[in-house]
């Protein structure tokens, strides 16, 4: 994704006020954002498996590659979109690229699709709490505990 770096802006330069109440400053300062007209497909579509073909029809608001994420230009001022993609940067940071990709792919296959992938479910659940609940919470420990629970189950499916 190095070719996108020139267009990437530090998340911290975008002026979102609420995110720092939920994410560590390290998470926020690592994150870089590229606004695009068409959001690229999730990385696992490069595997070319037909099980991932639903992504071809998806019109996602964003997608994450490591600490870099892409957001649909028309959604770029929506703080909840950034919140959701930041959850994926935390998952990616904890697992590393190889284990993230494997866990994400296994989660997709094991649950029968994008919506029920546990790595998406937790991102969506936390995003909904961010939108609906006044209560503050810290994302990193929740994501870490969630991964400790689900990743061994997913890896067991793959015999890893």
Q: Which residue is nearest to Zn ion (CB)?
A: 123
Q: Is 113 helix (H, G, I), strand (E, B) or coil?
A: coil
Q: Is 116:55 a contact under the CB 8 Å cutoff? A: no
- State in angstroms the smallest separation of the CB of 77 from Zn ion: 19
- State in angstroms the smallest separation of the CB of 60 from Zn ion: 7
- State in angstroms the smallest separation of the CB of 72 from Zn ion: 13
How far is the C-alpha of 131 from the C-alpha of 123, rounded, in Å? 12
- The CB density around residue 99, as the number of other CB atoms within 10 Å, is 17
Q: What angle do CA 19, 128, 121 make, to 5 degrees?
A: 105
Binders in 116-135 for Zn ion, by CB under 5 A? 120, 123
For Zn ion, the closer of residues 72 and 120 by Cβ is 120
Binders in 32-61 for Zn ion, by CB under 5 A? none
Instruction: Write out the residues near Zn ion by the rule CB under 5 A.
Output: 120, 123
């Amino acid at each position: 994704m190095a070719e996108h770096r020139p267009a990437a802006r530090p998340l911290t330069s975008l002026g979102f006020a609420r995110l720092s109440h939920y994410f560590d400053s390290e998470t926020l300062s690592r994150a870089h954002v590229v606004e695009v007209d068409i959001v690229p497909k999730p990385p696992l579509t490069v595997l070319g498996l037909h099980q991932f073909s639903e992504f071809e029809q998806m019109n996602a608001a964003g997608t994450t590659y490591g600490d870099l994420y892409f957001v649909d230009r028309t959604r770029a001022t929506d703080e909840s979109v950034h919140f959701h993609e930041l959850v994926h940067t935390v998952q990616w940071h904890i697992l590393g690229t190889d284990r993230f990709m494997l866990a994400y792919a296994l989660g997709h296959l094991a649950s029968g699709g994008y919506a029920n992938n546990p790595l998406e479910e937790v991102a969506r659940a936390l995003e909904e709490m961010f939108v609906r609940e006044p209560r503050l919470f810290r994302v990193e420990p929740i994501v870490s505990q969630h991964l400790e629970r689900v990743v061994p189950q997913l890896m067991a499916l793959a015999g890893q």
